[in-house]
Structure 1
């Protein structure tokens, strides 16, 4: 990073304890809202959107092609030096306004011509969209780190990325807008488009157009450069003479200047960085720079935020649950608990492959680790689902959806039994939602919790199915592994180790919801029964596997018309809550058939399982 040029930019030496990206993150985190961004064409390269000059070149090429249709080289020749070609053929200087006025004189035709350069193509929403850098910047704005964005780009990628996260930016693209704009300090974010918007005929594009800014824009720019720290990315300083002079004219900086450079470092950039003792971050693309900045700032957040305790989290949830004005607070509370689990679910924390001699110990360690990491979430789900009236069902469901995706990535070399444990948090969450639904007499929620989200092992080619199939405890938790880590008091093995462990490990989150151990275990048995019925509702025999558990025991299942099986058989009717909510396709015969299949499975396998 160090430069041999005495007049070159100040750079923190390679190997220094605090490297440039670290210094930038520390400054941005400690001074929220103090740093402005200056973004050039380099930030939009990955989107496929042309720069303003690139649009001018392309349109000149098209004009040349239609002017001389018999010359196959007309387009390439004109694009090599658009200004020279334009002056030679029109007797007037090339400018964005003059070019569009000639090529598309009416507003409608002008919009249509420009749209192909800046808007996604029909049916291809991902084309010409915000890049990872734009989305990272939107996250920085959302958390209050950035409030002013200067950009030389004509595109609307920054605005689109902000809108994706629910932010409506104040956009200034014409000088006359400045007088009526909200003060910078009062706006969540202001995007100042120094060269205009792509649909605006007042764009500044050519060298002559970039020589001076209108007085109002010049004054606003000087204010930002004087009052804010600056992070420069994707700007070469080669052509924008008015902007270069404005940065040069800022003699005393209140806050540091960080300059990210990817590729050639222009002479103008060297002069500016040297003048302002800029910290140069070299060799990083815009995507790398801003996604890394977000990651580092969030790491600092975690250091300055006191970890929320389980009991405090439950108290906050109960306060937010009935208050529609605190719905975002409730959402964030649950979402943060899921994020904590996800952060601890990487192979570095929960190995997916170990030598066979260490397998049993690693299995037990991983299972206990997943349970400990999930503790806050499980208490939130137990209390939240029980006390909710359905208003926040999407929040509980989103938690499971995020946890299910922990197995979307391919970990490389792995033991299947350890790799499958990555679904333990999703299983714990689904089981908790299920028990809370039974206890609160909201069993219709199971029609969602056991059918959505659909999932299958990545790249397996298997059909996608619901949690009733892929979160079956028998699939997720290896029996031999559980026998080693979870034994009966007399040292014997449980007949249904997964069922027994799930009931035991999830008792604590339900203490406030259901003090009675008997009532709790009855709810567990009923949930296992209903989950098993849904799992049997398939026309593929290979997938018809119940959540084989202790509800199969005679003491629970019953006999001679008594017990849980008889109770559920009696309940089956068109008005059954699960049917009304869409389980079994809403068809009573399918539910009855599933119950029959479950009974037959128990008769054949239940006693020897």
Structure 2
């Protein structure tokens, strides 16, 4: 195997002011691929999988029970000291191979005996599965933070967690495999099972078997310990003499050693940590250690990673959307796009007050700023909702929920039109989701998009209302100020400036999914119409206000039994998608009443109200 070295900029492990867990995160983040993991039995304990020694004890106990069936204590006595019992019964030292040969001499029976200790039972897929620690480790591998994993465990939980996120690990469980492996730096991840795999007869488990390693394995282990930093978790150092000696024999470490200790700290562990001046992380179990590490590294990512560009984000979305294994990646992608909006949405960057006479300019500046900040998210929503089949609807809705919170606190002093404008990103997102749902013929999505999430001004005593009411464009976008910043091409004023501006500013994100301007405009009008029907579905007359939209124009609404209004009236049956999804309380009569109220509003108020 060719010699390759691991290089990288390494942070110095901190002492004093910086907590050990923080120091580990800083080091791992600054040096991707430099740190190897050493995982012991403590990593798998939460899964319900027995340790290798636990399997030996159990099998010896079973053999003792069938050997002496009249003795009810035979099993417990043998399990208390398996090695002594075995030598007394067989005149031979206890070894894993000899034990399995005695208990299950044929390969098929041996595999069946071992599988029940390590694989989920039939009908219980969630048993003996990867823990939160294993899944966090898989995320560290996926992001390139970890490329080598040493483990004393027989189970395949690490491999299964890696496969769940689409990674096929290079696994070494026998010395004869080492010669043909890829160089460690050329493999996405290499899992080195120091004591073997549960299905191999070459497992090392008893005290004698753990006294030394085969030469090939010893050389590979020494190389990892020399060339990589090390994060130890779940390993007591009590029984693995060969591994203890290997760590002891490592020359002055090139990179720091982090040792996570939960529970009793053995004398051997104390000696190793003292010898290598290790950073000890005390009081965290494996799940807590690795999930916390991922969380801290992601926080550092947000500080150092440039915002993702619009086109790259859409490409990543299209790759992740149909792949169930990449659902977290899609979630993070949308979440990052939301952060690009919320982070700069401060009073410093988007003022909510201004000098007398200047607030209209501030309004225009804020509108343009919110729209620019929302660019990536709007493209993700237009493409994602259009191509989704409903699997990720909660992700789209969560984006609106996060944006609504921009008004959860009330700054002081503030100008009302500028303060309410903080809901513009949520309005843009809701409009985009709604129009995409109409274009993709998934209008049942509107039943959740327009009713949830609910929002009300904090400590106001007002009822919490869904986006159909809280995000009415007539309220979010001040009409006079919008007239000042948005004109028709000839310079005239729009009849419905909010509707016209929203339709124009959101045209570009829909170019990829609907190139036809006519189809896009029709979808916008239909979304406005349906949203206004929902808005009219309110027992309080002062809240039953439609969205001021161009759908009111005869060119969309229609007349003489033709057009959008007549089309929707004809659709109103018990099987209408919005009703089946829960809109209007699922009651046809309520939907019909809302349509009648909307029609009456149009007749009463006419154009340009």
Q: Assess same fold via TM > 0.5.
A: yes
**Residue of structure 2 in register with 1:455 after alignment:** none
Structure 1 residue 42 corresponds to structure 2 residue 42: yes
Q: Match for 1:475 among 438, 462, 466?
A: 466
Q: Match for 1:393 among 387, 390, 393?
A: 387
**Residue of structure 2 in register with 1:260 after alignment:** 260
Give the superposition deviation at 1:43: 0.7
Counterpart CA distance in 1 for 2:440 and 2:471 is: 34
1:103-252 paired onto structure 2 within 5 Å:
103-252=103-252
Deviations 1:476-506 (A, max 9, x none): 4655999876554499xxxxxxx99787667
Counterpart CA distance in 1 for 2:45 and 2:395 is: 31
Counterpart CA distance in 1 for 2:173 and 2:377 is: 49
Counterpart CA distance in 2 for 1:19 and 1:147 is: 25
1:532–1:548 contact (8 Å) kept in structure 2: yes
2:474–2:498 contact (8 Å) kept in structure 1: no
2:450–2:467 contact (8 Å) kept in structure 1: no
**Residue of structure 2 in register with 1:314 after alignment:** 310
**Residue of structure 2 in register with 1:380 after alignment:** 379
1:227–1:254 contact (8 Å) kept in structure 2: yes
What is the DSSP-based 3-state SS (H/G/I as helix, E as strand, rest coil) of the residue aligned with 1:224?
Answer: helix
Q: Match for 1:508 among 505, 510, 524?
A: 505
Give the superposition deviation at 1:207: 0.3
2:257–2:276 contact (8 Å) kept in structure 1: yes
> Could you say if the C-alpha distance between residues 155 and 404 of structure 1 is closer, same or farther in structure 2, counting changes exceeding 3 Å?
same
Deviations 1:485-542 (A, max 9, x none): 6554499xxxxxxx99787667533357689999977543212345788999xxxx9x
**Residue of structure 2 in register with 1:65 after alignment:** 65
**Residue of structure 2 in register with 1:524 after alignment:** 524
Give the superposition deviation at 1:48: 0.9
> Could you say if the C-alpha distance between residues 373 and 546 of structure 1 is closer, same or farther in structure 2, counting changes exceeding 3 Å?
farther
Q: Match for 2:397 among 390, 396, 404?
A: 404
> Could you say if the C-alpha distance between residues 595 and 237 of structure 1 is closer, same or farther in structure 2, counting changes exceeding 3 Å?
closer
Counterpart CA distance in 2 for 1:501 and 1:60 is: 78
1:382–1:510 contact (8 Å) kept in structure 2: no
What is the DSSP-based 3-state SS (H/G/I as helix, E as strand, rest coil) of the residue aligned with 2:115?
Answer: helix
Q: Which moved more, 1:44-53 or 1:333-342?
A: 333-342
Counterpart CA distance in 2 for 1:66 and 1:273 is: 45
2:100–2:110 contact (8 Å) kept in structure 1: yes
> Could you say if the C-alpha distance between residues 322 and 146 of structure 1 is closer, same or farther in structure 2, counting changes exceeding 3 Å?
closer
**Residue of structure 2 in register with 1:272 after alignment:** 272
**Residue of structure 2 in register with 1:359 after alignment:** none
Counterpart CA distance in 1 for 2:178 and 2:292 is: 33
> Could you say if the C-alpha distance between residues 63 and 426 of structure 1 is closer, same or farther in structure 2, counting changes exceeding 3 Å?
farther
RMSD over equivalenced CA pairs, Å? 5.1
2:450–2:466 contact (8 Å) kept in structure 1: no
What is the DSSP-based 3-state SS (H/G/I as helix, E as strand, rest coil) of the residue aligned with 1:178?
Answer: helix
> Could you say if the C-alpha distance between residues 265 and 163 of structure 1 is closer, same or farther in structure 2, counting changes exceeding 3 Å?
same
Q: Which moved more, 1:65-74 or 1:98-107?
A: 65-74
Counterpart CA distance in 2 for 1:45 and 1:279 is: 23
1:11–1:278 contact (8 Å) kept in structure 2: no
Deviations 1:326-347 (A, max 9, x none): 999999688523344379989x
> Could you say if the C-alpha distance between residues 80 and 407 of structure 1 is closer, same or farther in structure 2, counting changes exceeding 3 Å?
farther
> Could you say if the C-alpha distance between residues 224 and 179 of structure 1 is closer, same or farther in structure 2, counting changes exceeding 3 Å?
same
2:313–2:333 contact (8 Å) kept in structure 1: no
Unpaired runs of 5+ in structure 2? 1-11, 347-366, 403-407, 409-422, 456-464, 483-495, 581-585
> Could you say if the C-alpha distance between residues 329 and 198 of structure 1 is closer, same or farther in structure 2, counting changes exceeding 3 Å?
closer
Q: Which moved more, 1:287-296 or 1:195-204?
A: 287-296
Give the superposition deviation at 1:216: 0.8
What is the DSSP-based 3-state SS (H/G/I as helix, E as strand, rest coil) of the residue aligned with 1:38?
Answer: strand
2:147–2:190 contact (8 Å) kept in structure 1: yes
Give the superposition deviation at 1:17: 2.0
1:273-352 paired onto structure 2 within 5 Å:
273-308=273-308, 313-316=309-312, 335-341=332-338
Counterpart CA distance in 1 for 2:424 and 2:128 is: 39
**Residue of structure 1 in register with 2:360 after alignment:** none
> Could you say if the C-alpha distance between residues 161 and 426 of structure 1 is closer, same or farther in structure 2, counting changes exceeding 3 Å?
farther
Counterpart CA distance in 2 for 1:436 and 1:445 is: 8
Give the superposition deviation at 1:554: 7.6
Counterpart CA distance in 2 for 1:382 and 1:247 is: 51
Counterpart CA distance in 2 for 1:130 and 1:114 is: 18
1:402-481 paired onto structure 2 within 5 Å:
402-404=395-397, 429=429, 431-436=431-436, 443-447=439-443, 449-450=445-446, 467=449, 470=452, 475-476=466-467, 478=469
**Residue of structure 1 in register with 2:358 after alignment:** none
What is the DSSP-based 3-state SS (H/G/I as helix, E as strand, rest coil) of the residue aligned with 1:207?
Answer: coil
Counterpart CA distance in 1 for 2:508 and 2:291 is: 42
Between the two proteins, the alignment pairs up a number of residues equal to 524
What is the DSSP-based 3-state SS (H/G/I as helix, E as strand, rest coil) of the residue aligned with 1:212?
Answer: coil
What is the DSSP-based 3-state SS (H/G/I as helix, E as strand, rest coil) of the residue aligned with 1:208?
Answer: coil
Counterpart CA distance in 2 for 1:444 and 1:247 is: 60
Give the superposition deviation at 1:213: 0.6
